[in-house]
Structure 1
Amino acid sequence: MKPAVCALVCICLGSIWTSAVSQPVDSSATNDIQKLSRRYAESTIASDISKIMDSMVQKNFVKFLLNQREKKSVPTMAGDPDYSIFNDLLKKEFMMLVHSKGDAFKNQ
């Protein structure tokens, strides 16, 4: 997207530069009109570039928000010390249950 914007700017500035070089110098009224049209063209280009840059910033912001949402949806309990204690207790309880079922099976 950025190379396209740069190419657009170069093309527009090139056309403005060639029109500025080929200005007639015979009358001040025509010169004023050309300067005014040149300013209008430059402001139009600046406005278009501004709109393009705003849309790029908006798209980047939406991507940022979506990435943050994805990061929040990933469970982060692995780094929690309470999680490891809870996990250890569950393992011990499960092992006790398995051993008690095994002992009950042997006694039959």
Structure 2
Amino acid sequence: MKVEMIALIFFCLGGVLVVTARAVDNSPADDVQHLGRRYAESTIASDISKIMDSMVQKNFVNFLLNQREKKSMPATMPEDPEVHIFNDLLTKDFTMWVHSKGDRSKSQ
């Protein structure tokens, strides 16, 4: 993407240099060609503007997606051994509680 941007910049600068060089040699016969060149240059500038806008839009969407992924990440990492121990204790307590509730319903 950076290479495309640099190529577009060089392309525009080259066009500007050609236009300024030909503007010095301003003869009446070249007026028609000059208008054609101006039209072509404005179309190129418009195309470059559209390309730049689409690149900015894609970058913005990627930025928003990355921010969303960062927000959805858990605060504690599951690789932490203390978290594993705590989770194991909670699951054991919960399963014991569920089994104890099941035993009571059978006895009644």
Instruction: Report the Cα distance in structure 1 between the residues aligned to 2:70 and 2:27, rounded to whole angstroms.
Output: 67
Shift of 1:15: 5.0
Aligned residue in 1 for 2:64: 65
* Count of residue pairs brought into register by the alignment: 80
Q: How does 1:26-105 map to 2 (within 5 A)?
A: 26-27=27-28, 30-76=29-75
Identical aligned pairs, as a percentage?
59
Tell me whether 52-61 or 6-15 shows the greater mean CA deviation: 6-15
TM-score (norm 1): 0.53
Per the TM alignment, residue 26 of structure 1 is displaced from its structure 2 partner at its CA by: 4.8
Quick check: which has more Rg, 1 or 2?
1
Flag structure 1 segments of 5+ consecutive residues without an equivalent: 79-86, 95-108
- Consecutive unaligned residues in structure 2, runs of 5 or more: 77-85, 94-108
- Taking only aligned residues, the RMSD between alpha carbons, in angstroms, comes to 2.9
In the aligned structure 2, how far is the partner of 1:13 from the partner of 1:41? 15
Which residue is 2:104 aligned to? none
- Counterpart Cα distance in 2 of 1:11 and 1:61: 26
Summarize deviations over 1:24-58 as a string: whole Å, max 9, x none. Answer: 7553xx32212211211221121111111111111
